[in-house]
Structure 1
Amino acid sequence: MMKYIVDNKIRRTCFCSVILMLFLIPSASLRAQTGPSSMKDSATIKVKMANAGMYPMFFPYNIGDKWHFDSAYTLKDGYRIYRLWIKEPRQQRMIVRNPSMNINVPGASIPGPQPVFLLKAGATVIVEGDANDPLFLTVKSADKEINDYEKYRSVAKKMEAERWEIIKSIYKTADQKASPEQDARREAIDSSLSEWQKTFVKQHASSYAALEVFSWYYYLINNREASNTLAGFPEKVRNSVLGKTIKTELDNVGVTSEDRVIKPFKAKGLDGNMVDIAAMKGKVVLIDFWGSWCGPCRKSHPHLKAVYEKYKSKGLEIVGVAVENGTKEKQQESWKKAIAEDGITWLQVLNNRETNDIAKEYGVKVFPTKILVDKNGKIVLRSVGDGNELDEKLAELLD
């Protein structure tokens, strides 16, 4: 199942966009940061790499919504020694600007996978390898949790490398579109990575490393399952900044999870009339969160059209909530164009991040997300993608 993810609050911004931005920044703008004043608020990274002098290297990280790009180092015994600010443990990316690893497209360069490791205050991490193969650098530390995370990465980065090779092959084609075989292989890799993440979390539930891995998929699984997984971590891990952030977001999603009464909203529809969820009590309502930019969302529309035709006369109402990007004018244009192209006939509203952020209120991070509400206003299904469970639940409610 393909999924599009936006606005991961824990990361505070889409890391893909950040990395792309970094590759477009001139080297001179990567100013060295003043080093931390003490070991308790810093970590040390020792880097020894073949061909390191050929490419700029730096470490991006966010503190208090401000991005830092540390590139200053000292030399000792053949190692580059970096000291980075850190309070809470974090997944730390290391950017090696090796252009041969990128995909060049008109006006931009898409960076390839980069090394990432767990970093903790007071810890020392040793990174070794070849700058021409940065994804497969070795990471060592005396800290057990950092080494635990490296066990996860040792498997995950092989999958990332295979997926990246598929993406590169797609961009080499004339139309830059994936073949059915390529799509199937990417989905298989994503599925394997998801299973490995869950396995790792179960095997290392007492380690902070597992919480970092959990942070990459908790919003893709059932809210109850995610909440139970979080509850299984030790109190110290749950009470970390990351643990508390995940808890808050799960609580927000829980308001619109299965067996809860729907949280009503009103918004102006495509025809200018108000769409009021509360006024639809007595009908089965399917709320579909989508976007014109989301391939899987658009691919699901023919199925939704068939569902709507089958059940409209039996009391089904569908409300599409489109989440668009760009200026207000651009959002309106993209939204209306997609509706016309896809032949959508059910109710539609445009999400407004400034005054009526329905997606945020419903804790939607992944697209498409569908929420099915029964005639009494109770949520009976919250699903990601376009799975069979929707058809099964509709048949149960309306056939």
Structure 2
Amino acid sequence: MMKKYAILLCSCLAASAGFAQQGYTLRIKLSHFKKYQPRLSYVSDNKLSIDSVFTTEKGWLVMKGAVNSPVMASFTLKGNPALEAPAGKQVLTAPVLRFFLTNDVITIKGDADKVYAANVEGGEANADWADLRTKESRLEHENWIATRKMADSCKTCDNTVVTQLTRKMNSSKGRALQDMETAFFNSHPNSLYSMYMLYRMQAIMELDSLKTTYNKMGSAAKNNVYAKFIGNRIASLEATAVGQPAIPLRKKDMDGREVSLETLKGRYVLLDFWGSWCHPCRASHPHLKELYGKYKAEGFEIVGIASENGSAEKCRKVWLDAIKMDGINWVNVLNNEGIEQFDAVTAYGVSAFPTKILLDKEGKIIGRWIGGEAKELDVKLKEVFGK
């Protein structure tokens, strides 16, 4: 008899565990809620998911779905005027509510007019940084109140003034957030939120610093999509560090011709990772044109590797339009085309635009820089060509 009960209990537990892993359930209760549109968004498997579908159950809004692994999600209410602040010709928007979306029952309770500060419970990942999230929400609320007051007094301000005032307030908030998050990061090496913070910072970190910081983190923090991304980026950066041979480039130019780094050996080649949407990238083109004109006859070539957003047709159009508008007549390829066979951005560990990588005549990497100015590139080319 005891054996039968044990088998039955195990079966129930197994069924219960299987059910818990089937997906998430968001239970949302907000005072002052009217006919607003809930908006849940998150990135999973490199795809942005946006969900506004909900049901009502005994006064609760209920949203359901499933994620493959814990992801940072944002939640807000579209159509709520309390979350908007018209200023000049702009409409400033309130912060969003951030939390980890996991396949658990997660409850959100608060005020619809300050949903960004709502209380979130459910799932170990959210419990882990609950105190920090409460402090951050308080700071977000104070900053939003200040933003609304600024907007009220700036009904006729032009966009430049609004942008300057908003940037000033966000800068102050950003410093305070950074202090709180740094303290949390240093004291919680096993936290998923700490790994998420490193994921946000990794784009501007040098390889040695990124590796050192990542290696200091505990094993529990390394079992998630953000840790996997960082691990892959470290591997890509190591494979494309200064002194390493360049990874073969398998792309076609704007006319459909194959582009190979092998055929460019004997020249110094600059790989310029950019996009039509990237203002610093576009702003760097005039100076790159000066360098190209100065050194091309000396054996200098540029290969622009663009990364665009949208459908295949849209990507190609905005890419070609930007090339024409900026007058960049060097070799140009679109990373989106043939990305299934070869993704140059991932292969070279590029996570910030623009990124510039310089190859010597043998195809070996001799320089790597992030940012539009890249003054070190000027110095390196002067060293290489002697002028």
State the TM-score, normalizing by the size of structure 1.
0.69
Determine the C-alpha separation between the residues in 2 that align with 1:393 and 1:150. Answer: 45
Q: Which residue of 1 aligns with 2:222?
A: 238
Determine the C-alpha separation between the residues in 2 that align with 1:384 and 1:115. Answer: 31
Unaligned runs of 5+ in 1: 1-35
Q: Which residue of the other structure, out of 328, 349, 361, is the alignment partner of 1:375?
A: 361
Alignment of 1:74-153 (within 5 A): 74-75=57-58, 85=66, 88-100=69-81, 101=83, 113-120=95-102, 125-128=107-110, 130-139=111-120, 144-147=127-130, 150=133, 153=136
Amino acid at match of 2:324: A
Q: Which residue of 2 aligns with 1:278?
A: 262
Amino acid at match of 2:130: N
Offset, 1:225: 2.6
Q: Which residue of 2 aligns with 1:72?
A: 55
Q: Which residue of 1 aligns with 2:283?
A: 299
Amino acid at match of 2:194: A
Larger radius of gyration: 2
Offset, 1:148: 5.1
Determine the C-alpha separation between the residues in 1 that align with 2:297 and 2:177. Answer: 39
Alignment of 1:1-399 (within 5 A): 38-39=19-20, 47-57=28-38, 59-60=40-41, 71-75=54-58, 85=66, 88-100=69-81, 101=83, 113-120=95-102, 125-128=107-110, 130-139=111-120, 144-147=127-130, 150=133, 153-154=136-137, 157=140, 181=164, 192=175, 200-270=184-254, 274-326=258-310, 328=312, 330-351=314-335, 352=337, 353-354=339-340, 356-386=342-372, 387-399=374-386
Is the 8 Å Cα contact of residues 90 and 212 (structure 1) preserved in structure 2? Answer: no
Amino acid at match of 2:206: N
* SS state at 1:286 partner: strand
Determine the C-alpha separation between the residues in 2 that align with 1:195 and 1:315. Answer: 45
Is the 8 Å Cα contact of residues 189 and 221 (structure 2) preserved in structure 1? Answer: no
Post-superposition Cα deviations, 1:308-353, rounded to whole Å, max 9, x if no partner, equal: 2343344332111223345555444433332232222322223313
* SS state at 1:303 partner: helix
Is the 8 Å Cα contact of residues 75 and 81 (structure 1) preserved in structure 2? Answer: no
Is the 8 Å Cα contact of residues 127 and 139 (structure 1) preserved in structure 2? Answer: yes
Post-superposition Cα deviations, 1:34-89, rounded to whole Å, max 9, x if no partner, equal: xx97456666756443312342335456777787656235347xx76777656743
Determine the C-alpha separation between the residues in 2 that align with 1:72 and 1:292. Answer: 41
Determine the C-alpha separation between the residues in 1 that align with 2:249 and 2:357. Answer: 13
Offset, 1:208: 1.6
State the TM-score, normalizing by the size of structure 2.
0.71
Say if 1:124 and 1:332 are closer, same or farther in 2 by CA, change over 3 A.
closer
C-alpha RMSD over aligned residues: 4.6
State the identity %.
28
Is the 8 Å Cα contact of residues 227 and 250 (structure 1) preserved in structure 2? Answer: yes
- Larger relative helix fraction: 2
Bigger RCO (CA 8 Å, 6+ sep): 1
Is the 8 Å Cα contact of residues 270 and 302 (structure 2) preserved in structure 1? Answer: yes
Offset, 1:385: 1.7
Amino acid at match of 1:114: V
